[in-house]
Chains A and B, each alone.
Chain A
Amino acid sequence: MARERYIKLLLMACASLSFLAILLIFIFILRESMPALTKVGFGNLFTSTDWNPDKGSFGILAFLNGTILTTLGGLIIGAPLGVGTAIFLDQVAPKKMATVIRRGIELLAGIPSVVIGWFGLIILVPFIARITNSSGYGIAAASVVLAVMVLPTITALSVETLRSLPIELKEASLAMGATRWQSIRTVLLPAAREGILVAVILGMGRAIGETMAVQMVIGNSRQFTLSLFKPTATLTSRLVTDMGEAPPGVFRSSLFAMALVLLIFAMLLIFSVRMITRKRKA
């Protein structure tokens, strides 16, 4: 019996590791970003677009802008595509075909992000360069790459939601004489709204955090830009580009401040997902 107790404690320790880990990550990232937050100042860090570590300017607004624009771009392309594919898989496709396509999309989720980045670099960037007469690097290229990466998340979770709806909903609607599209639009999609919203939010999480694929196609310049076809950077891409060369000090610390922003984004997403699912349960 004593042995049973030890085993239970050991298992509990394993379980508590996940919470300890996130706590530790938060504490360490916060600690490492303190020098930047105090010396550069909160305001300077987040409102300045001037990133020039050699000259002592550490404004990350340009990269915050890059993260927000590429994420939005990725979702604008990826979310309709994902939800549309999910509707196809759950409502329209013949059963065999649905299975094959679902497997394919699961495979897409498994393709490493460097491989997708490499694909973007050798195919997408030259293509955009040719049609827009620019360098090809920039928010447009990154958005397309991110759309590819959020697609599997959004599709899989949307299919799950649609599938969890009671079959009676659709049958009742069809029995009233509604067409398939009318049933989907007026009955199924409203019923699945929260689930699809969660799917998009989790897709957004993937887009915000994606690093290598974006880094390879966005051009990594320091400039703030709203143009789709000018090289810029995101928080993640700047972080990974500069970390190798940043000496300990304010420079490195400001990179950790970027990580802190990413961490806070991730937490906000978690909380919004929890709010949505809690409301649904109640």
Chain B
Amino acid sequence: MENLVNALVSGLISGSLYATMALGLTIIYGVSRVFNFGHGVIAVIGAYITWYLLSVFGVPFLPATLLSLAFMASFGWLVYRFTMSPLLKKPNWEFSTVLFMLGAGILLENVVLQVFGPRVKSIPVLVDGALKVGFIQINWHEVALMGIVLVVIAALSLFFKYTRTGQAMRAVAQSIPGAQVVGINIEQIFGLTFALAFTVTGFSGILLGTKYYLNPHVGWEWMVKGFVIVTFGGLGSTSGAVVAALVLGLVEAVATLYFGAIWVWPIWFVLFLIVLLLRPQGILGGRT
């Protein structure tokens, strides 16, 4: 019982980190229909920049994170402007954009390897110590992570609902010709969507880097988890991604507790394939 409750708590924590991981993927797909196969490396880059600023220049965590996110936003915009935008205007873009992002991901992974080396890094925890309630024990750091994730998700949903740009992104996701006839600049919104998604993805990499470890290749594992989550939750649905991430986080924790960590991926992928066969549009189906 004690073990189960502790496992569930840690499942919720990993689940919420996976949720931020999946959000960037689902935001890009929902708006532009590009499936970003370079997603994991984007998260890794965000984390490495923060790590570099923290440990080499001694910049405090908050400014290091902000600088890294500003870089990710510009990087996302540039990737859209100079690679995705021309590809989307040509035939077979569904295929060419996927291959391009996959190739770019492998290239960037190697750039990270050359620049930072193969040794494992980690970003220090935000707060030390642990919270004890009865027999439940949670690190304060993990409590902080959960809080940050909740704030990020709330901020994103407010952004999509109430800001002019957020509404325009939802409009483009639902109907491109509809967005054109109301005067939305599609190119601009696509560019901003990539900037936003890269920022969120980079941030998820930073958070993951504080809880797990960092190496240039870990992005692929994160990305595959992101894929499973967005397929579960419905590609393009942000609320679906959050729910699916929490469910899969709990599945992971319970599976680790009762069968051992080696069973997590088989169980995830059995669930993934079953969901894909029965409901290809995902459990929650909807869109942004």
Chains A and B are bound partners: no
Interface residues of B (CB under 8 A from A): none
